[in-house]
Amino acid sequence: MARLESINVGLPRDVTWQGRTVHTGIWKAPVTGPVMARRLNLDGDGQGDLGGHGGEQRAVMVYQLESYRYWEQQLGRDDFVPGQFGENFTVTGLPDSDVCIGDRYRIGEAVFEVTQPRVTCYRVGIRMDDPQMPALLVKHHRPGFYLRVIAEGRVDAGQDIVKIGAGPGRMSVAEIDALLYLPEHPREQLARALQISALSPGWQESFRALDRQRTAGGNSGLSAEAAVPPPAWSGFRALRVSEVHRESRSVVSFWLAAADGRPLPAALPGQFVTIRLDPDDLGPALVRNYSLSGPPGGGEYRISVKAEQRGMASQRLQTSLRAGDTLSVAAPRGAFVLTDSARPVVLISAGIGATPVLAMLHALAAAKSSRDVWWIHGARDGADHAFAAEARELLGRLADPRAFICYSRPRDDDRLTVDYSDAGHVDADLLARAGVPADADAYVCGPLPFMTALTAALIDRGLSAASVRTEVFGARDGLSPGISAVAGRRPHLPDGEPGAGPSVTFARTGLSVPWNDRQASLLEFAESCDVPVRWSCRTGVCHTCETALLSGAASYGTEPLEPPAPGSVLICCSRPDGEVVLDL
Ligand code: FES
């Protein structure tokens, strides 16, 4: 009979880690006497980062004494105490290889259901004083698991754990964990996993993404980059400017063609290219991303550049780039792409944010799509309204499109109902007037506050968070789970002696820095420059740090459990092999 050996609780606290403050609830200590198990927590327990831990699906964490003994041997340690692995219940007799998702157990007065394996995260490495721990738990098939509280009640250490129900599908915690994080994702196993309603929604979403993956390499359950085909070429390639066209007061388009005249590989609608401007009389080397705005699969690429007052690259392109010139261009990339579906599609943009969604509109028009299409765009006025005639023509090829054009400051000669449909901004009220349906796929591009507001408004209208996709121009927001915010510093050269290594370019940030061998990884190097980065496990498991490697090569100190998508790199466990350009 399985037994509850120890109940461990702890409230979040601040700990210092690598000079930063981490707010974490991973320190748990044993309690004596009965403890109330409630829907969201044991009494006296809490989590520091509810985005990654806690909640109804992850109310109680379980780890096994047998695994304690295993790790004592593996790691040569004898200093473990109850709660060492951040678990609430230390148990005997519930191995990850036997316990199945959906199994139900009664302990004392309460009833629990197994929902998912442990979330791999760097905090277990902090607690164990071993940064490799997140990867080891997965690699050795000993992650531990979470319980949902089905019936609240008191539990006490020493009580028997009585199995009262078996999960459908009979998929063990270890099997489910390996199915997501380790290479090989057999479709038959994915199908079985997706039948288990007790599996937490986040894991179900990951398995659905893996099931849809048709590309080789990478893990689309962990990173959207793996869901799109690999880049058509590596590094930068010289393309010829075939045509230059002014689209509006501030936007100029450049058509790019292969130097040998052959058609360029098709991009997916919504993808972007990275261009590199070499240093010249007009300024230093610059690397920038531009969404492709033209018809996908047309044999040439079109980028559309808005002149920004302080935009060094846009000024240079608009003032000096002419038809016949060449430009260094990396292959189309990005996971902000129109997905195949019969659902209604809503394309929302502001200003130059029209570019990727215009490529999607091209794709819908070319396919004579029968999907219901909403085209919603905001501009300042008619002079700033790029692609007006082009979008109108494309919409005209669709069966029953809905178009809403908002001018925030229409000029006297801008014609209401002809040039624009609404005076004002694209906002929640407009979405309501437009009748955007709850079962739509939405693609949103524009300034960050615009996308934040529109995403919230779309979710308020009933769209699921997964069906609202956004595209960020420039640096993306970082994700540093549990790290307490400090006054932000703009990206900068690292403090102290500069490195003597090859140049590392952060394309979105616009920073090139010589690599410093003092840093253990590209992630640590980016952090030393305050470049926004996203990460969770820091040991090559979760793929949160997966980043497009636009040029150059990197190698891994410790190989990740599963390689990232071709053309991408896991920056938490890699170092550059020469000059690199990262999409950061
Ligand atoms: S942060 Fe998890 S793989 Fe890099």
Say yes or no: CB of residue 540 within 6 Å of ligand 1.
Answer: yes
Tokens standing for 75? Answer: 């790691």
The neighbour count for residue 81, using CB atoms within 10 Å, is 12
Q: What are phi and psi of 508, to 5 degrees?
A: -70, -30
In this prediction, residue 26 carries a pLDDT of 95
Cα–Cα distance for residue pair 206/317, rounded to 1 Å: 41
Half-sphere exposure of 364 (CA within 13 A, CB side): 33
Strands 345-350 and 441-445: parallel
Residue at token pair 């990460």: 535
The answer to whether the beta carbons of residues 193 and 171 sit under 8 Å apart is yes
Q: Which of 374, 348, 275, 336 is nearest to 472 (CA)?
A: 336
Distance of CA 97 to the CA centre of its chain: 30
Q: What angle (nearest 5°) sits at the alpha carbon of residue 404, between those of residues 441 and 383?
A: 125
In this prediction, residue 393 carries a pLDDT of 98
Say yes or no: CB of residue 407 within 6 Å of ligand 1.
Answer: no
Probe target for ligand 1 pocket from 225, 524, 535, 568, with the most ligand atoms within 8 Å of CB = 535
Tokens standing for 487? Answer: 């006054």
Sketch out the chain's domains with CATH numbers.
2-212 (2.40.33.20), 236-330 (2.40.30.10), 345-471 (3.40.50.80), 503-582 (3.10.20.30)
Q: What is the number of the ligand 1 atom nearest to the C-alpha of 538?
A: 1
Cα–Cα distance for residue pair 93/422, rounded to 1 Å: 65
> What size, in residues, is the chain?
584
Q: What angle (nearest 5°) sits at the alpha carbon of residue 536, between those of residues 532 and 538?
A: 95
Q: pTM (2 decimals)?
A: 0.89
The answer to whether the beta carbons of residues 255 and 241 sit under 8 Å apart is yes
Probe target for ligand 1 pocket from 206, 483, 572, with the most ligand atoms within 8 Å of CB = 572
Cα–Cα distance for residue pair 583/24, rounded to 1 Å: 30
In this prediction, residue 584 carries a pLDDT of 95
| Centroid of ligand 1 to alpha carbon of 520 (angstroms) | 14
| Centroid of ligand 1 to alpha carbon of 571 (angstroms) | 7
In this prediction, residue 502 carries a pLDDT of 96
Count H helices and E strands in the chain, helices first.
Answer: 12, 31
| Centroid of ligand 1 to alpha carbon of 495 (angstroms) | 25
Say yes or no: CB of residue 570 within 6 Å of ligand 1.
Answer: yes
Cα–Cα distance for residue pair 363/387, rounded to 1 Å: 15
Cα–Cα distance for residue pair 29/558, rounded to 1 Å: 33
Cα–Cα distance for residue pair 250/257, rounded to 1 Å: 23
| Centroid of ligand 1 to alpha carbon of 401 (angstroms) | 42
Tokens standing for 576? Answer: 């550059």
User: In sequence order, which residues have a C-beta less than 8 Å from that of residue 71 and are 6 or more positions away?
Assistant: 77, 80, 142
Say yes or no: CB of residue 268 within 6 Å of ligand 1.
Answer: no
Say yes or no: CB of residue 543 within 6 Å of ligand 1.
Answer: yes
| Centroid of ligand 1 to alpha carbon of 479 (angstroms) | 11
- For residue 43, the surrounding DSSP H or E stretch is none
Cα–Cα distance for residue pair 335/339, rounded to 1 Å: 10
Q: What is the number of the ligand 1 atom nearest to the C-alpha of 541?
A: 3
Say yes or no: CB of residue 545 within 6 Å of ligand 1.
Answer: yes
Q: What is the number of the ligand 1 atom nearest to the C-alpha of 134?
A: 2
Say yes or no: CB of residue 534 within 6 Å of ligand 1.
Answer: no
Beta strands in 295-390 (DSSP E): 301-306, 326-333, 345-350, 373-379
Say yes or no: CB of residue 535 within 6 Å of ligand 1.
Answer: yes
Say yes or no: CB of residue 119 within 6 Å of ligand 1.
Answer: no
Question: At residue 336, what is the residue type?
Answer: F
Say yes or no: CB of residue 542 within 6 Å of ligand 1.
Answer: yes
Q: What is the pLDDT along the chain (584 residues), one digit of tens a residue?
A: 999 999 999 999 999 998 889 999 999 999 999 999 999 999 999 998 887 788 999 999 999 999 999 999 999 999 999 999 999 999 999 999 999 999 999 999 999 999 999 988 999 999 999 999 999 999 999 999 999 999 999 999 999 999 999 999 899 999 999 999 999 899 999 999 999 999 999 999 999 999 999 888 899 999 998 989 999 999 999 999 999 999 999 999 999 999 999 999 999 999 999 999 987 776 678 899 999 999 999 899 999 999 988 888 899 999 999 999 999 999 999 999 999 999 999 999 999 999 999 999 999 999 999 999 999 999 999 999 999 999 999 999 999 899 999 999 999 999 999 999 999 999 999 999 999 999 999 999 999 999 999 999 999 999 999 899 999 887 788 888 877 766 667 899 998 888 999 999 999 998 999 999 999 999 999 999 999 999 999 999 999 999 999 999 999 988 999 999 999 999 999 999 999 999 99
Residue at token pair 């997905």: 339
Cα–Cα distance for residue pair 384/248, rounded to 1 Å: 5
| Centroid of ligand 1 to alpha carbon of 572 (angstroms) | 5
The answer to whether the beta carbons of residues 253 and 286 sit under 8 Å apart is no
In this prediction, residue 325 carries a pLDDT of 96
User: In sequence order, which residues have a C-beta less than 8 Å from that of residue 188 and are 6 or more positions away?
Assistant: none
Say yes or no: CB of residue 522 within 6 Å of ligand 1.
Answer: no
